[in-house]
Amino acid sequence: MTPAPLTSMQRVGTTLSHREPDRVPFFLLFTMHGAKALGLSIREYFASAANVVEGQLRLRQRFGHDCLYGFFYAAVEVEAWGTEVLFAADGPPTAGASIIRHPDDIARLEPPVVEDTPCLRRVVEAVAGMKARIGDEAPIIGVVMSPFSLPVMQMGFEGYLELLQEHPAHFERLMQVNEAFCVAWANAQLAAGATVICYFDPLASPSMVPPALYRRTGRAIATRTLARIKGPTATHFASGRCLPILDDVQGTGTGAVAVSALEDLAAIKAACAGRLTVIGNLNAIEMRRWQTADAAAAVRTAIAKAARGGGYILSDNHGEIPWQVPDDVLLAVADAVRTYGTYPLSEIPDGS
């Protein structure tokens, strides 16, 4: 008798234990596509937690991926501090004017209170709504921006780099405030039903700052913050490289790492084997121009490079599927995972 297929939760749990489940799990990290599914504008969609719940469920029913995604848009975190959010017709909402215009502004900052902040409450309500509908069948991914990376939206990239290097007291004060917010925000999502927290830390990537600077700053910040989050975490670099700092990242206490399409997936898997689960690394930007054959080939190569032995979840490399990626490409990704990703794996040339 053929055994029943695993639930998505069982499948992901098995691969996180560095064992082979029935097939390779895959995450399609949808945000804006839910608006398409419901025939709404992006602004209308994110205005209601119920919309996001329904959008996530419809997308999972259509594509069969192994998670629900509680992420709305990155700018929600600075919206909570009072920044205006700018909505586009075909792209993610973005942050308006910086809330920190001079380092002295940092002394007056206080972290938003999640339950008193409407934009954050909507996210928490959406996570709770997903949990009520899906139960334990599939993981629900909550999202926070790391305290180390959030200032890029709070004060701009150039201003933050100057702060990092020339204003240590202001930097430490900002990290204290941001850490308190990050922990409260993560734990509110976990309490609402999130299974895991995705800790976005793009500034930690060697693509953004030298590893030595990360080791002096972001690594300790991540270690402190993750220790206070009351659930499992995965660290995501939002397309940035991470291979040179993998040992440091593991030391922060995270359980998984989402990796860049710019890196060799086989080398990443070898460095992480038995220590960190690898998530990635389909090129989300290139997906906009893929044909279905391109999608199948990319999935086949990724599985060949990283899936053997478990410890691998196929996903995009950025943490958000662009609005412009067509459904037929995403369906081709799903079909290819089932074709090439059923365990035990066939011998597949990795294309390298």
Distance CA 178, CA 269 (A): 32
Domain-located, residue 346: no
CATH classification at residue 37? 3.20.20.210
Domain-located, residue 1: no
Nearest to 7 by CA among 23, 29, 28: 23
Domain-located, residue 75: yes
Distance CA 245, CA 60 (A): 33
Domain of residue 141: give its range: 8-340
Domain-located, residue 2: no
Distance CA 259, CA 24 (A): 17
Domain-located, residue 345: no
CB atoms within 10 A of CB 175: 22
Distance CA 135, CA 184 (A): 23
Domain-located, residue 351: no
pLDDT of 166: 92
pLDDT of 346: 83
Report the DSSP pairing between strands 140-145 and 256-258. unpaired
Domain-located, residue 352: no
pLDDT for 272-306, tens place per residue?
999 999 999 999 999 999 999 999 999 999 999 99
The total number of structural domains in the chain stands at 1
Flag residues of the chain having pLDDT under 50: none
DSSP state of 91: S
Distance CA 151, CA 171 (A): 10
Q: Which phi and psi (to 5°) does residue 181 adopt?
A: -65, -45
> Encoding tokens for residue 162?
């100057």
pLDDT of 11: 98
pLDDT of 157: 93
82 conformational bin, left if phi > 0, alpha if psi -120 to 50, beta if neither: left
Domain-located, residue 347: no
